[in-house]
Amino acid sequence: MIAMGIESTAHTFGVGIADERGRILANEMSSYSSEKGGMRPFDVAEHHAKRAAETIKRALNKASISMKDLDIIGFSQGPGIWQALSVGASIARALSKLLEIPLIGVNHPIAHVEIGRLLTRARDPVVVYISGGNTQILTHASDRYVVMGETLDIGFGNAQEKLGRIVGLGFPAGPEMDRIIGNWVDLPYTVKGMDLAFSGILTEAERLIKSGLRKEDVIWSFVEVCTSMIAEVAERALAHTGKNELLLVGGVAASPRLQEKMRIMCEERNAVLKVPPAEFSRDNGAMIAWTAILSFKYGGALSIEESSIKPYWRIDDVQWPLMDLPDS
């Protein structure tokens, strides 16, 4: 079975191709960027629509297959920016109808987890899912992924982007922030049980910058505080579940400082940190293709009437068994 996956939840339009043995045959993408920072939803949707055909063609060429070799079409059904989601969903519906093959709607957070499990061979980990709009600590229990803790306001990635716009960094700002070194300044540390909040830290960081403090010092301290908060709740999740694997997924999983703190914490708890390659940590089509295969085997295909996008679709809304990994 060969699946094409279409990712279009936010700034990346991705097309991936995978087979049921877990082989990634292609993972092509085109990402919207803005020198002014941030994303205007309609601009993102326009970018995706313009780049879709060439990205699909590159993926097919990379996989050395043609459209007729595809068995199923998967797409990001949610959560995400509805204008961007609509582009990917429309293309997937059209291809499904044209090729007369099953259409699969994929929950975007589950896809991050499942591509992470596939590539790192994580069996039943505590999952730290960190992206632009999401900051969640997950574990699998019974028939779904359970949210043990999450942000109470905005995701860590979005907080970085907001601070990046304040200080004039381009989009995405996160990688630039990771390269900044500064001196410590005090910022709020907001952990509430297993949950976190970033908006208050962001507000104080903005105030300090406007008061004249060096922006490098504020940015470095902001990253230090936020990554320490995430490491704290992740450690608490490991302690509560007794698991010995920690899987770090999502676009912000590529942050060197976040990885370093998680690695130190895991070593102290005799746990193993597992992080997929950066290409597969960020939003990508391969994760949609692979998860579409799993979803098709578990629940079958969607009708066109069932394929409407779900901009607020939570991971814990989805019944999803802990599936076996394919033989390596």
Instruction: Write out the binding residues for Fe cation.
Output: 108, 112, 129, 283
- How far apart are alpha carbons 229 and 216 in whole angstroms? 20
Instruction: Report DSSP state, residue 38.
Output: S
Burial 14-35 (b: 16+ CB within 10 A, else e): bbbbbbbebebbbbbbbbbebe
* Residue 229 near residue 196 (C-beta atoms within 8 A): yes
Residue with tokens 């070799």: 69
Q: Residues marked as binding for substrate? A: 129-133, 174, 178, 255
Instruction: Name the region of 142 (left: φ>0; alpha: ψ -120 to 50; beta: rest).
Output: left
- Residue 86 sits at the vertex; the CA angle it makes with 172 and 88, to the nearest 5 degrees, is 75
Residue 269 burial class via C-beta count within 10 angstroms: exposed 0-12, middle 13-18, buried 19 and up: middle
Q: Binding site: which residues?
A: 108, 112, 129-133, 174, 178, 255, 283
**For residues 60 and 91, is the Cβ–Cβ distance under 8 A?**
no
Alpha helix segments (H runs only) across 2-81: 41-63
